[in-house]
Structure 1
Amino acid sequence: MFVKLNNRVFLNTDKITRVKVAEIKDEIRIHFYEGTTIVAKSQKFKTAKAAIKWIEDNMK
């Protein structure tokens, strides 16, 4: 299954092994991993709750 990250990027969820909500400096992003390698980063979120809600809504 594919998930749309933005206008140009679709993520193959069958290959994703780990998803992490990361707070780096003043931004919160979702990092998608294949094994130990980050393959994609999401848009910026204002809160961790908003990032988790995005995961729950889009990654089924």
Structure 2
Amino acid sequence: MFVQLNDRVFLNLDKITRTKIDHVEDGIRVRFYEGQDQVAKSQRFEDVKQAQKWLKKLLKAS
């Protein structure tokens, strides 16, 4: 099943093996992986709770 991450990126959730909420240089992002390879990342969030809420909403929509 495909979900739209933003205006240019669609993600096939059937191939995603894991997600990770990660602290990076510019903030907090949700990263999507197929096996060992990162295939997409979300926009920047201010805190982990916002990232979790966004991810739950994205997964519910699918």
Q: TM-score range by the shorter chain?
A: over 0.9
Shift of 1:27: 0.6
TM-score, normalization by structure 1: 0.93
> Quick one: percent identity of the two aligned structures?
57
The number of residue pairs the alignment matches comes to 60
The residue aligned with 1:30 is 30
Output the aligned Cα RMSD.
Answer: 0.9
Unaligned runs of 5+ in 1: none
What CA distance in whole angstroms lies between the structure 2 residues aligned with 1:59 and 1:50?
14
1:13 aligns with 2:20: no
Q: Secondary structure at the match of 1:6?
A: coil
Uncovered stretches (5+) of structure 2, i.e. residues with no partner:
none
Query: Structure 2 length normalisation: TM-score?
Result: 0.90
Q: Check the 8 A contact 2:2/2:12 in 1, yes or no.
A: yes
* Equivalent residue number for residue 3 of structure 1: 3
Aligned to 1:49: 49
Which residue of the partner structure matches residue 39 of structure 2?
39
Hey, what's the Cα distance between the residues in 1 that align with 2:56 and 2:40?
17
